[in-house]
Amino acid sequence: MQPTSEKKAGTRLAGLPQAIAARNPGLPLDMDWVMSAQANTSAIERRANTIGARRSVKKEHQAAWLLKAVTLIDLTTLAGDDTPGRVRRLCAKARHPVRQDLLDAMNMRPITTGAVCVYHEMVAPAVEALQGSGLGVAAVSAGFPAGLSPYRLRLEEIRESVAAGAREIDIVISRRHVLTGNWQALYDEVRAFRAACGEAHLKTILATGELGSLRNVARASLVCMMAGAEFIKTSTGKESVNATLPVSLVMMRAIRDYHERTGVRVGYKPAGGISKAKDALTYLALVKEELGDDWLTPHLFRFGASSLLGDIERQLEHHVTGHYSASYRHAMG
Protein backbone atom coordinates (compact mmCIF):
# COMPACT_ATOMS: atom_id res chain seq x y z
CA MET A 1 0.00 0.00 0.00
CA GLN A 2 1.40 3.38 -0.99
CA PRO A 3 -1.02 6.08 0.16
CA THR A 4 1.71 8.69 0.06
CA SER A 5 2.17 8.74 -3.70
CA GLU A 6 2.74 12.32 -4.81
CA LYS A 7 0.29 11.87 -7.68
CA LYS A 8 -2.40 10.51 -5.39
CA ALA A 9 -1.95 13.21 -2.79
CA GLY A 10 -1.81 16.00 -5.31
CA THR A 11 1.26 17.35 -3.52
CA ARG A 12 4.33 15.99 -1.77
CA LEU A 13 4.41 14.84 1.82
CA ALA A 14 7.12 16.31 4.00
CA GLY A 15 9.11 13.79 6.00
CA LEU A 16 10.82 16.57 7.90
CA PRO A 17 9.76 20.12 8.76
CA GLN A 18 10.41 22.57 5.98
CA ALA A 19 11.92 26.03 6.38
CA ILE A 20 9.46 28.87 6.63
CA ALA A 21 9.03 30.84 3.42
CA ALA A 22 11.09 33.90 2.60
CA ARG A 23 10.31 37.00 4.63
CA ASN A 24 7.55 39.34 3.57
CA PRO A 25 9.24 42.77 3.51
CA GLY A 26 5.89 44.54 3.39
CA LEU A 27 5.26 47.81 1.59
CA PRO A 28 3.93 51.28 2.37
CA LEU A 29 0.26 51.39 3.25
CA ASP A 30 -1.73 51.74 0.01
CA MET A 31 -5.12 53.11 1.01
CA ASP A 32 -6.49 53.01 -2.54
CA TRP A 33 -5.83 49.27 -2.64
CA VAL A 34 -7.26 48.73 0.86
CA MET A 35 -10.46 50.67 0.22
CA SER A 36 -11.01 48.94 -3.13
CA ALA A 37 -11.31 45.57 -1.34
CA GLN A 38 -14.94 44.42 -1.28
CA ALA A 39 -16.75 41.20 -0.38
CA ASN A 40 -19.87 39.83 -2.05
CA THR A 41 -21.21 37.87 0.90
CA SER A 42 -23.83 35.82 -0.96
CA ALA A 43 -21.35 34.77 -3.67
CA ILE A 44 -18.69 33.94 -1.10
CA GLU A 45 -21.07 31.79 0.94
CA ARG A 46 -22.31 30.05 -2.20
CA ARG A 47 -18.73 29.18 -3.21
CA ALA A 48 -17.84 28.02 0.30
CA ASN A 49 -20.88 25.75 0.48
CA THR A 50 -19.82 23.86 -2.63
CA ILE A 51 -16.23 23.01 -1.78
CA GLY A 52 -16.89 20.09 0.58
CA ALA A 53 -19.49 18.54 -1.70
CA ARG A 54 -17.47 18.82 -4.90
CA ARG A 55 -14.09 17.71 -3.61
CA SER A 56 -14.10 14.24 -2.08
CA VAL A 57 -11.20 11.80 -1.71
CA LYS A 58 -11.51 8.17 -0.67
CA LYS A 59 -9.41 5.23 0.49
CA GLU A 60 -5.66 5.56 -0.10
CA HIS A 61 -6.11 9.03 -1.58
CA GLN A 62 -7.79 10.16 1.63
CA ALA A 63 -5.06 8.58 3.77
CA ALA A 64 -2.43 10.47 1.79
CA TRP A 65 -4.20 13.79 2.25
CA LEU A 66 -4.69 13.14 5.96
CA LEU A 67 -0.99 12.44 6.38
CA LYS A 68 -0.31 15.70 4.58
CA ALA A 69 -2.69 17.47 7.00
CA VAL A 70 -0.72 16.16 9.98
CA THR A 71 2.44 17.87 8.69
CA LEU A 72 0.53 21.18 8.56
CA ILE A 73 -0.73 21.25 12.17
CA ASP A 74 0.49 23.78 14.72
CA LEU A 75 -0.08 21.39 17.63
CA THR A 76 -1.42 23.75 20.27
CA THR A 77 -2.03 24.03 23.99
CA LEU A 78 -3.31 27.39 25.27
CA ALA A 79 -4.89 26.46 28.58
CA GLY A 80 -4.65 28.30 31.87
CA ASP A 81 -3.47 25.13 33.59
CA ASP A 82 -0.63 24.35 31.17
CA THR A 83 2.46 22.94 32.85
CA PRO A 84 5.98 22.18 31.58
CA GLY A 85 5.14 18.49 31.81
CA ARG A 86 2.05 18.85 29.63
CA VAL A 87 4.03 20.84 27.09
CA ARG A 88 6.80 18.22 26.99
CA ARG A 89 4.21 15.52 26.34
CA LEU A 90 2.68 17.63 23.56
CA CYS A 91 6.13 18.09 22.02
CA ALA A 92 6.70 14.34 22.11
CA LYS A 93 3.44 13.94 20.20
CA ALA A 94 4.53 16.60 17.69
CA ARG A 95 7.73 14.63 17.06
CA HIS A 96 5.78 11.39 16.50
CA PRO A 97 2.19 12.42 15.69
CA VAL A 98 1.07 9.12 14.15
CA ARG A 99 1.58 5.72 15.76
CA GLN A 100 4.49 3.82 14.25
CA ASP A 101 2.43 0.68 13.55
CA LEU A 102 0.08 2.73 11.37
CA LEU A 103 2.98 4.32 9.49
CA ASP A 104 4.54 0.88 8.96
CA ALA A 105 1.25 -0.51 7.61
CA MET A 106 1.11 2.32 5.08
CA ASN A 107 4.82 2.01 4.20
CA MET A 108 5.22 5.60 5.36
CA ARG A 109 8.37 7.26 6.66
CA PRO A 110 8.24 9.26 9.92
CA ILE A 111 6.55 12.65 9.84
CA THR A 112 6.13 15.49 12.31
CA THR A 113 3.59 18.24 12.82
CA GLY A 114 4.34 21.73 11.48
CA ALA A 115 5.18 23.34 14.84
CA VAL A 116 4.10 23.55 18.48
CA CYS A 117 2.15 26.60 19.66
CA VAL A 118 2.16 27.70 23.32
CA TYR A 119 1.92 30.68 25.64
CA HIS A 120 5.09 32.67 26.37
CA GLU A 121 5.67 30.97 29.74
CA MET A 122 5.86 27.59 28.02
CA VAL A 123 8.27 28.59 25.22
CA ALA A 124 11.43 27.50 27.04
CA PRO A 125 10.16 23.99 27.96
CA ALA A 126 8.90 23.52 24.40
CA VAL A 127 12.19 24.62 22.83
CA GLU A 128 14.08 22.24 25.08
CA ALA A 129 11.74 19.33 24.32
CA LEU A 130 12.02 19.86 20.56
CA GLN A 131 15.80 20.10 20.36
CA GLY A 132 17.16 18.12 17.43
CA SER A 133 13.75 17.63 15.81
CA GLY A 134 13.83 20.57 13.41
CA LEU A 135 10.46 21.64 14.77
CA GLY A 136 9.94 25.26 15.76
CA VAL A 137 7.94 26.83 18.58
CA ALA A 138 5.23 29.41 17.92
CA ALA A 139 4.31 31.71 20.80
CA VAL A 140 1.00 33.57 21.05
CA SER A 141 1.73 37.14 22.00
CA ALA A 142 0.76 40.83 22.03
CA GLY A 143 -1.86 40.53 24.73
CA PHE A 144 -3.41 37.33 23.43
CA PRO A 145 -6.34 36.77 23.16
CA ALA A 146 -7.93 40.23 23.55
CA GLY A 147 -5.01 42.43 22.49
CA LEU A 148 -5.89 45.02 25.13
CA SER A 149 -2.80 45.06 27.32
CA PRO A 150 -0.55 48.17 27.28
CA TYR A 151 1.17 48.65 23.93
CA ARG A 152 4.72 48.67 25.32
CA LEU A 153 4.04 45.42 27.18
CA ARG A 154 2.77 43.78 24.00
CA LEU A 155 6.00 44.70 22.23
CA GLU A 156 8.11 43.48 25.13
CA GLU A 157 6.22 40.20 25.28
CA ILE A 158 7.12 39.58 21.64
CA ARG A 159 10.80 40.33 22.28
CA GLU A 160 10.92 38.06 25.32
CA SER A 161 9.29 35.16 23.46
CA VAL A 162 11.85 35.51 20.67
CA ALA A 163 14.67 35.64 23.24
CA ALA A 164 13.29 32.44 24.80
CA GLY A 165 13.60 30.67 21.46
CA ALA A 166 10.28 31.10 19.66
CA ARG A 167 10.76 31.01 15.89
CA GLU A 168 7.24 32.24 15.11
CA ILE A 169 5.10 34.81 16.90
CA ASP A 170 1.30 34.70 16.62
CA ILE A 171 0.17 38.23 17.53
CA VAL A 172 -3.41 39.40 17.94
CA ILE A 173 -4.41 42.70 16.37
CA SER A 174 -6.40 45.48 18.03
CA ARG A 175 -9.88 44.87 16.63
CA ARG A 176 -10.93 48.45 17.36
CA HIS A 177 -8.67 49.72 14.56
CA VAL A 178 -10.63 47.62 12.06
CA LEU A 179 -14.04 48.44 13.51
CA THR A 180 -13.35 52.18 13.40
CA GLY A 181 -11.64 52.06 10.00
CA ASN A 182 -8.34 53.31 11.38
CA TRP A 183 -6.20 51.43 8.88
CA GLN A 184 -3.12 53.55 9.48
CA ALA A 185 -3.17 52.63 13.17
CA LEU A 186 -3.50 48.94 12.31
CA TYR A 187 -0.64 49.17 9.83
CA ASP A 188 1.62 50.97 12.32
CA GLU A 189 0.80 48.45 15.04
CA VAL A 190 1.56 45.39 12.93
CA ARG A 191 4.69 47.03 11.50
CA ALA A 192 5.97 47.59 15.04
CA PHE A 193 5.17 44.00 16.00
CA ARG A 194 7.05 42.82 12.91
CA ALA A 195 10.12 44.82 13.94
CA ALA A 196 9.93 43.42 17.49
CA CYS A 197 9.99 39.88 16.07
CA GLY A 198 13.52 40.29 14.72
CA GLU A 199 14.37 37.05 12.91
CA ALA A 200 11.20 35.29 14.06
CA HIS A 201 8.31 35.16 11.61
CA LEU A 202 5.11 37.07 12.30
CA LYS A 203 1.62 35.53 12.13
CA THR A 204 -1.19 38.05 12.60
CA ILE A 205 -4.43 36.86 14.19
CA LEU A 206 -7.37 38.88 12.87
CA ALA A 207 -10.04 37.46 15.22
CA THR A 208 -12.36 37.48 12.21
CA GLY A 209 -15.46 36.61 14.24
CA GLU A 210 -15.20 40.03 15.87
CA LEU A 211 -14.52 42.19 12.79
CA GLY A 212 -18.14 42.78 11.81
CA SER A 213 -18.08 41.97 8.07
CA LEU A 214 -16.27 40.03 5.38
CA ARG A 215 -15.25 43.33 3.81
CA ASN A 216 -13.45 44.24 7.02
CA VAL A 217 -11.74 40.83 6.94
CA ALA A 218 -10.50 41.48 3.39
CA ARG A 219 -9.19 44.95 4.24
CA ALA A 220 -7.55 43.88 7.50
CA SER A 221 -5.86 41.00 5.66
CA LEU A 222 -4.33 43.39 3.12
CA VAL A 223 -3.17 45.88 5.75
CA CYS A 224 -1.46 43.16 7.80
CA MET A 225 0.34 41.84 4.73
CA MET A 226 1.42 45.35 3.72
CA ALA A 227 2.83 45.74 7.24
CA GLY A 228 5.01 42.65 6.78
CA ALA A 229 3.07 39.70 8.22
CA GLU A 230 4.36 36.33 7.01
CA PHE A 231 1.03 34.65 7.86
CA ILE A 232 -2.51 35.84 8.37
CA LYS A 233 -4.57 33.77 10.80
CA THR A 234 -8.32 33.66 11.36
CA SER A 235 -8.81 33.41 15.10
CA THR A 236 -7.46 33.04 18.60
CA GLY A 237 -9.73 30.05 19.17
CA LYS A 238 -11.29 31.95 22.07
CA GLU A 239 -13.97 33.84 20.11
CA SER A 240 -17.55 32.61 19.75
CA VAL A 241 -17.01 32.32 15.96
CA ASN A 242 -13.62 31.09 14.78
CA ALA A 243 -12.42 29.75 11.41
CA THR A 244 -15.13 29.40 8.75
CA LEU A 245 -14.97 28.62 5.05
CA PRO A 246 -16.36 32.03 3.93
CA VAL A 247 -13.77 33.87 6.01
CA SER A 248 -11.06 31.53 4.71
CA LEU A 249 -12.09 32.20 1.12
CA VAL A 250 -11.87 35.98 1.68
CA MET A 251 -8.45 35.74 3.31
CA MET A 252 -7.07 33.37 0.69
CA ARG A 253 -8.17 35.67 -2.11
CA ALA A 254 -6.49 38.59 -0.34
CA ILE A 255 -3.32 36.49 -0.19
CA ARG A 256 -3.64 35.67 -3.89
CA ASP A 257 -4.16 39.34 -4.75
CA TYR A 258 -1.11 40.32 -2.68
CA HIS A 259 1.02 37.68 -4.40
CA GLU A 260 -0.11 38.72 -7.87
CA ARG A 261 0.77 42.35 -7.18
CA THR A 262 3.99 41.93 -5.22
CA GLY A 263 5.33 38.44 -6.01
CA VAL A 264 5.44 37.70 -2.26
CA ARG A 265 3.78 34.56 -0.88
CA VAL A 266 2.08 35.01 2.50
CA GLY A 267 0.90 32.03 4.54
CA TYR A 268 -2.58 31.24 5.86
CA LYS A 269 -3.63 29.68 9.18
CA PRO A 270 -7.23 28.79 10.07
CA ALA A 271 -7.62 28.22 13.80
CA GLY A 272 -10.42 27.38 16.19
CA GLY A 273 -13.15 24.82 15.66
CA ILE A 274 -11.27 22.58 13.21
CA SER A 275 -11.41 19.25 15.02
CA LYS A 276 -12.52 16.69 12.42
CA ALA A 277 -10.48 15.03 9.70
CA LYS A 278 -13.19 15.72 7.10
CA ASP A 279 -12.95 19.45 7.88
CA ALA A 280 -9.19 19.37 7.33
CA LEU A 281 -9.75 17.77 3.91
CA THR A 282 -12.18 20.53 2.97
CA TYR A 283 -9.70 23.25 3.93
CA LEU A 284 -6.92 21.52 1.98
CA ALA A 285 -9.15 21.36 -1.10
CA LEU A 286 -9.95 25.07 -0.76
CA VAL A 287 -6.25 25.97 -0.47
CA LYS A 288 -5.39 23.85 -3.51
CA GLU A 289 -8.10 25.48 -5.63
CA GLU A 290 -7.65 29.08 -4.49
CA LEU A 291 -3.89 29.32 -3.96
CA GLY A 292 -2.38 26.25 -5.60
CA ASP A 293 -0.05 23.44 -4.59
CA ASP A 294 2.73 25.84 -3.59
CA TRP A 295 0.71 26.73 -0.47
CA LEU A 296 0.27 23.11 0.63
CA THR A 297 3.47 23.12 2.67
CA PRO A 298 4.15 23.97 6.33
CA HIS A 299 5.82 27.27 5.45
CA LEU A 300 2.62 28.61 3.82
CA PHE A 301 -0.29 26.78 5.45
CA ARG A 302 -0.99 25.65 9.02
CA PHE A 303 -3.94 24.40 11.00
CA GLY A 304 -4.17 25.85 14.50
CA ALA A 305 -5.50 22.80 16.31
CA SER A 306 -5.18 20.33 19.13
CA SER A 307 -7.96 17.74 18.88
CA LEU A 308 -7.74 17.54 15.06
CA LEU A 309 -4.71 15.25 15.21
CA GLY A 310 -6.56 12.65 17.29
CA ASP A 311 -9.40 12.39 14.79
CA ILE A 312 -6.98 12.11 11.87
CA GLU A 313 -5.19 9.26 13.64
CA ARG A 314 -8.51 7.48 14.18
CA GLN A 315 -9.30 7.80 10.47
CA LEU A 316 -5.88 6.45 9.54
CA GLU A 317 -6.37 3.46 11.85
CA HIS A 318 -9.72 2.81 10.19
CA HIS A 319 -7.98 2.95 6.81
CA VAL A 320 -5.41 0.36 7.94
CA THR A 321 -7.62 -2.00 9.98
CA GLY A 322 -11.17 -1.36 8.81
CA HIS A 323 -12.21 -0.54 12.39
CA TYR A 324 -12.55 2.69 14.36
CA SER A 325 -10.62 2.78 17.61
CA ALA A 326 -11.34 4.51 20.90
CA SER A 327 -10.00 8.04 21.22
CA TYR A 328 -7.78 7.06 24.17
CA ARG A 329 -5.61 5.10 21.74
CA HIS A 330 -4.56 8.42 20.18
CA ALA A 331 -3.80 10.60 23.17
CA MET A 332 -2.06 13.96 22.73
CA GLY A 333 0.46 13.24 25.47
**Which CATH number fits the domain that encloses residue 79?**
3.20.20.70
Our answer to whether residue 30 is catalytic in this structure is no
52 assigned to some structural domain: yes
204 assigned to some structural domain: yes
21 assigned to some structural domain: no
- Return the axis-axis angle of helices 308-321 and 277-290, rounded to nearest 10°: 100
Which helix (H) or strand (E) segment is 74 a member of? strand 73-76
7 assigned to some structural domain: no
Could you list the pLDDT tens digit for every one of the 333 residues in the chain? 344 433 334 333 433 344 456 799 999 999 999 999 999 999 999 998 888 766 677 889 999 999 999 999 999 999 999 999 999 999 999 999 999 999 999 999 999 999 999 999 999 999 999 999 999 999 999 999 999 999 999 999 999 999 999 999 999 999 999 999 999 999 999 999 999 999 999 999 999 999 999 999 999 999 999 999 999 999 999 988 899 999 999 999 999 999 999 999 999 999 998 999 999 999 999 999 999 999 999 999 999 988 899 999 999 999 999 987 777 677 766
Our answer to whether residue 269 is catalytic in this structure is yes
Give me the domain span that covers residue 319.
31-330
15 assigned to some structural domain: no
Kindly name the residue from 203, 269, 279, 311 that is annotated as catalytic. Answer: 269
- Number of continuous H segments (helices) and E segments (strands) in the chain: 14, 8
Q: What's the whole-model pTM score?
A: 0.91
Give the model's pLDDT for residue 136. Answer: 96
Helix (H, G, I), strand (E, B) or coil at 16: coil
* Total domain count, the chain: 1
14 assigned to some structural domain: no
Compute the distance between CA of residue 283 and CA of residue 273 in angstroms, rounded to an integer. 12
Residue 201's DSSP bridge partners are: 168
- The count of C-alpha atoms lying within 13 angstroms of the C-alpha of 204, restricted to the half-sphere facing its C-beta, is 29
Kindly name the residue from 170, 203, 279, 311 that is annotated as catalytic. Answer: 170
Our answer to whether residue 288 is catalytic in this structure is no
